[in-house]
Structure 1
């Protein structure tokens, strides 16, 4: 851990004064003249993710000034752990009073490095915080976010359907959840034909991973995550550029496990069913083909317009299965469409919801928590674009327009009309580096969804 919870801080811990732009001018007036001149010389103005080391007359570091966006920003201190000299640091009493949860979360994520194959370039500095439930919560979130990133960052050679199942089994063991998996041809016997069809061409058997947790009396929530561990595009093969990062096509599953881990760690009064259809979309003589018609668990027949639209096919069986238990809420998370990225970019997941008021609440909550999403419509007239002439539905639209909406409408066929449901089309990847968010796998929307579930079900 790059954050230690103890009181008092060790002797010699260097104080960090956090301040935003708005408060810096007022704070500067209270500082010794020599400190003001030093900060001015170094151009420090309280800008987010900036910092200035302040020495004493002998050149020894005695204080750090850090610019932050605001006191509760989840990445408030994330620029510091890998930039400050090694040693212990503490938050000073002057400047902004950084929220303990934000401090622990941001510092821990600021020290995140994916080091499975490449040694760390250096160890992070250590922040010492007084013990508190808020700081513990921040650390819990950081631990889960780091684990989510690790899953997405791990190459497909070491993160296939079996390895993803092992990761889910470890999560189940940590929290006392029940783990099970339906593997290979057993998917046909258990009536998950769509998952089997997509994954059957790989030498690594497809499977439906399931976790169950909680008390029977509590409201049931189903969390479904797309677990396509590598996506060649199938017979409609992707270009080399399009295939390059397809290890991340199980980012929905990683985020679903992350959200479930937080729900269980914080012991929300709910029951959880976590479902991950885990496959590798490969090319072989038995690969499913464009033009094939695939039967689904729900009984609907999917015409395959393109084998590279495989995520919605595997999710169809998982959503139908989740719906059978009539949960209070279904949340599915998937790296589903490039169209959502064209519309919203890498940092803003697309949210589709059965209820507009729920969607608006989530958008507002996401911006408040700096873990955003953006509402897009389940525009019913577009269903005409995914009608099939030989099946019930086709897995591609009749044009390239509204691709993210078409995919969401496709999934809606497998969710009963009266079933509350959220669909999140996310990227699960940072394509540019920001403080605490290196290029690579990312957890998106799980902090917002956790807060929403707490608000909705904490008193259930």
Structure 2
């Protein structure tokens, strides 16, 4: 379903209360309501809810606990925590002060996400009537793009291989009258995308480079998303516990598709380009091997010391291709390294950039949009770690230190010609359900990026 606000007509009044405001609210209520609330033990605790029945037993109002400021600081969408405890129906905000109404409205919409492709997970939803004074169309656009990202990540590789990922991009292109070209199979070699071909040649579906363009005026914005639809690790085979959620290894592609949808739906005056190298990293007789030295589009050679470090390889060709037309801003998004998760955990999206204007705008936007990111350094003394003896670059430096940084440095080698370059080493997965975030696929960074673009590009 598409996330939408409900009509206000017949919506149940919802009062958002904290432990501090509860008693004053009760004092203004009829004795029957006051007795019901006190008898229920409702305290205004974060995530709690209480339905208030009328004379016929049907709900005439509802309460949502908003907790203390300290408790809310620990939640991205505090109000969303109370939504599952409400009875099914539509609600309108009747009283209470929200810290960030737009963020809370988005969080409410995100609680309605259901992944129903393989199982009827439908449920009677708790809908929200459009709050006054908010740009509700914008909030709906953000939620719709997030639903797209979650769906793409949640679909298993059997049904979301390179062909299906191409179709998802094509559906988006058709919706917004964008142009799209796809380079597939052996043609990748003819058109000088050797790394994309080499990584994907062992897969059950042909590797490909998806190239979507939209817009005819404004700054050039190029998005590059890692589309490894399943990652076995190649001949450096992952253990089963690490392979279990590798359907999400195309999370970079899913996030850039969601971001592209946001940009196009918002009508930003930019010349948007989206590049997705779509492959599977599989094990067959023609898999690439540890010790191989591979050529890249840019001419740099890469020594393969771990076939499980394949994402940076396919991104390298796509980044080099995108940089050839000197975009004003180029962003890569990828589920690239376990080192990033060790450093900042699953909730934060670490990013690398040297442009102070972009960093400042993105950091503020991340706070405003409840889409947290964390700056990491392009630490140049580590450049030597990605320079092996027999090739220009090493795809997996030994030692295990600074794995996210060395991966980012590797990618930056292929971005000459781009104006501002930023790389996001995302997880794109919610390990356990949280308010506004269902377990499974997740968008990380697109809302913050979208909000930062006008300042960064002078729109």
With 20-29 and 250-259 compared, the bigger mean Cα shift is at: 20-29
Q: Classify 1:43/1:453 alpha carbon distance in 2 versus 1 (closer, same or farther; 3 Å).
A: farther
Task: Give the corresponding residue for 2:9.
Answer: 10
Shift of 1:185: 0.6
Question: Partner of 2:153: helix, strand, or coil?
Answer: helix
Work out whether residues 3 and 107 of structure 1, in 8 Å CA contact, stay in contact via their aligned partners in 2. no
Residue 294 of structure 2 corresponds to residue 294 of structure 1: yes
Shift of 1:248: 0.2
- Structure 1 gaps of 5+ residues are none
Residue 393 of structure 2 corresponds to residue 393 of structure 1: yes
Task: Give the corresponding residue for 1:327.
Answer: 327
Q: Classify 1:47/1:30 alpha carbon distance in 2 versus 1 (closer, same or farther; 3 Å).
A: same
Shift of 1:193: 0.5
Q: For the residues of structure 1 that align with 2:348 and 2:214, how far apart are their CA atoms?
A: 30
Q: Classify 1:390/1:23 alpha carbon distance in 2 versus 1 (closer, same or farther; 3 Å).
A: farther
Q: Classify 1:280/1:418 alpha carbon distance in 2 versus 1 (closer, same or farther; 3 Å).
A: closer
Aligned pairs, how many? Answer: 454
1:113-153 CA-partner distances (Å, limit 9, x unpaired)? 10100102522133332687711111111111011100000
Task: Give the corresponding residue for 2:54.
Answer: 56
1:382-422 CA-partner distances (Å, limit 9, x unpaired)? 11111111110000123101111111111111112773111
Q: For the residues of structure 2 that align with 1:22 and 1:358, how far apart are their CA atoms?
A: 40
Residue 157 of structure 2 corresponds to residue 156 of structure 1: yes
Q: For the residues of structure 2 that align with 1:221 and 1:418, how far apart are their CA atoms?
A: 10
TM-score if structure 2 supplies the norm length?
Answer: 0.92
Work out whether residues 17 and 96 of structure 1, in 8 Å CA contact, stay in contact via their aligned partners in 2. no
Shift of 1:49: 2.6
Q: For the residues of structure 2 that align with 1:74 and 1:214, how far apart are their CA atoms?
A: 33
Residue 212 of structure 2 corresponds to residue 214 of structure 1: no
Q: For the residues of structure 2 that align with 1:47 and 1:329, how far apart are their CA atoms?
A: 44
Work out whether residues 251 and 428 of structure 2, in 8 Å CA contact, stay in contact via their aligned partners in 1. yes
Q: For the residues of structure 2 that align with 1:331 and 1:313, how far apart are their CA atoms?
A: 16
Q: Classify 1:47/1:175 alpha carbon distance in 2 versus 1 (closer, same or farther; 3 Å).
A: farther
Q: For the residues of structure 1 that align with 2:200 and 2:360, how far apart are their CA atoms?
A: 36
Work out whether residues 104 and 139 of structure 1, in 8 Å CA contact, stay in contact via their aligned partners in 2. no
Q: For the residues of structure 2 that align with 1:50 and 1:447, how far apart are their CA atoms?
A: 28
Work out whether residues 5 and 109 of structure 2, in 8 Å CA contact, stay in contact via their aligned partners in 1. no
With 43-52 and 185-194 compared, the bigger mean Cα shift is at: 43-52
- Structure 2 gaps of 5+ residues are none
Q: For the residues of structure 1 that align with 2:48 and 2:422, how far apart are their CA atoms?
A: 37
**Counterparts in 2 of 1:16-31, with a 5 A limit?**
16-20=14-18, 23-24=21-22, 26-31=24-29
With 128-137 and 271-280 compared, the bigger mean Cα shift is at: 128-137
Work out whether residues 351 and 359 of structure 1, in 8 Å CA contact, stay in contact via their aligned partners in 2. no
TM-score if structure 1 supplies the norm length?
Answer: 0.92
Question: Partner of 2:143: helix, strand, or coil?
Answer: helix
Which residue of 79, 84, 87 maps to 1:85? Answer: 87
Q: For the residues of structure 2 that align with 1:374 and 1:20, how far apart are their CA atoms?
A: 31
Q: Classify 1:98/1:32 alpha carbon distance in 2 versus 1 (closer, same or farther; 3 Å).
A: farther
Question: Partner of 1:129: helix, strand, or coil?
Answer: coil
Task: Give the corresponding residue for 1:172.
Answer: 173
**Counterparts in 2 of 1:235-314, with a 5 A limit?**
235-314=235-314
Q: Classify 1:177/1:229 alpha carbon distance in 2 versus 1 (closer, same or farther; 3 Å).
A: same
Work out whether residues 214 and 270 of structure 1, in 8 Å CA contact, stay in contact via their aligned partners in 2. yes
With 349-358 and 164-173 compared, the bigger mean Cα shift is at: 349-358
Work out whether residues 233 and 281 of structure 1, in 8 Å CA contact, stay in contact via their aligned partners in 2. yes
